[in-house]
Structure 1
Amino acid sequence: MEDKSKNSKVLVIVLIAVIAILAAVGITMGVLLMNNNSSQTQDTAKQQGVVFDSDASHYEQEVSNAGGAEQGIKIPGYPDMTISSESTDFPITLLNPEENPCNFKFTLSLQETGETLCTTDLVKPGDAIKGVTLDKPIEKGTYTLIINISTYSVDSNSQMNGAQVKSTLTVE
């Protein structure tokens, strides 16, 4: 009878040890899979061409919504601007409002000439690029500045509805 009791105790101890080992292996596998999925998501983003603009930083000021929609993508407005014909510094703040579900990519061009002044990489919601440097100065004159905003989902990087904002640019 003592042998059965000892055998039962040994069996219970062995079962507990096996369960503990299986639980440890399961937890380890779960952690490894989660880390692997995280790095795969980052690799996928890089493969999809997700590149955030290094000049963008967090933006704190409140802005008006030129798009006018209460829900959906918020589009900032841009005032008329005056710049010097001798400078390549273009003092514009390209903002992606914090509430947006998407990243912005900006392309600035002149309607009259079709010339593209600059194209940014992606800007995260709540970030802004404060000023851009042009490749060359713009000739004196008055232009319609077209600010084309392409939008990409923060989750899947799929393209969403974009927007185009126009402003008057005076170059003196």
Structure 2
Amino acid sequence: MKKTVKNVLLAVIVLLLVCGGVFVGMNWNNWFGEKDTPATGQVDKKAEDWTGEQEVYTGEKNTDTIDIPGFDSMTFKADAAEQAVNLYNPKQNTCYFKMSLYLKDDTKLWESNLVEPGKGIYEMELLQSLPAGSYEDAILKYECFAMDEKQTPLNGSEIKLTLKVME
């Protein structure tokens, strides 16, 4: 009888340890995960209220569409990482923008965090500076994400432009 009680007690202890381990494993991310980090990225703290001129549609907004600004060219300073730009997410959008700039050969020059509607980026720091010249077919890539907890990817766009790098 004494041996049976020990075996039952041992089985109950093992069962409690297994259940406790499963419970801790299922809740680990809730307790210790990064709660403030969105799924695809953080909102860009460098983005400011956009104050530039832009055409704004004043009629009823179709939330199924995303307005993406286009550019023919951008002008940069030669041999400098810090660049002045005017990139923005139009205020009528209902999504975040993540913008990236690439050379024709897919060299990444810059990437933003998530930019809210009505916010703009006025300064960027390139990952590498460029010598003076004209860089045809550079790509300004727009990735769009829903403004919810999951930040579901939406349609995006790639704009080909010329980078004019001046002395």
Please indicate the TM-score interval, normalised by the length of the shorter structure. Answer: 0.5 to 0.7
**What is aligned with 1:97?**
90
Q: Report which of the two structures shows the higher radius of gyration computed on alpha carbons.
A: 1
> Contact 1:64/1:77 (CA < 8 Å) preserved in 2?
no
**What is aligned with 2:43?**
52
> Contact 2:71/2:159 (CA < 8 Å) preserved in 1?
yes
**TM-score, with length taken from structure 2:** 0.66
CA shift for structure 1 position 136? 2.7
Name which structure has the greater RCO, CA cutoff 8 Å, separation 6+: 2
Q: 1:161 aligned to 144, 155, 159, which one? A: 155
Q: Distance in 2 between matches of 1:76 and 1:82?
A: 16
1:17-166 matches, within 5 Å, as 46=37, 48-64=39-55, 71=62, 72-111=65-104, 113-143=105-135, 144-155=137-148, 156-166=150-160
Q: Distance in 2 between matches of 1:62 and 1:121?
A: 23
> Contact 2:95/2:117 (CA < 8 Å) preserved in 1?
yes
Identity %: 28
**TM-score, with length taken from structure 1:** 0.64
Q: Distance in 1 between matches of 2:53 and 2:88?
A: 11
Q: Distance in 1 between matches of 2:45 and 2:111?
A: 13
Post-superposition Cα deviations, 1:88-134, rounded to whole Å, max 9, x if no partner, equal 222222200001111000110011x3210011110001111112011
- The answer to which structure has the higher strand fraction is 2
Q: Distance in 2 between matches of 1:107 and 1:82?
A: 16
- The answer to which structure has the higher helix fraction is 1
RMSD (Å) for aligned C-alpha atoms: 2.2
Alignment size in residue pairs? 125
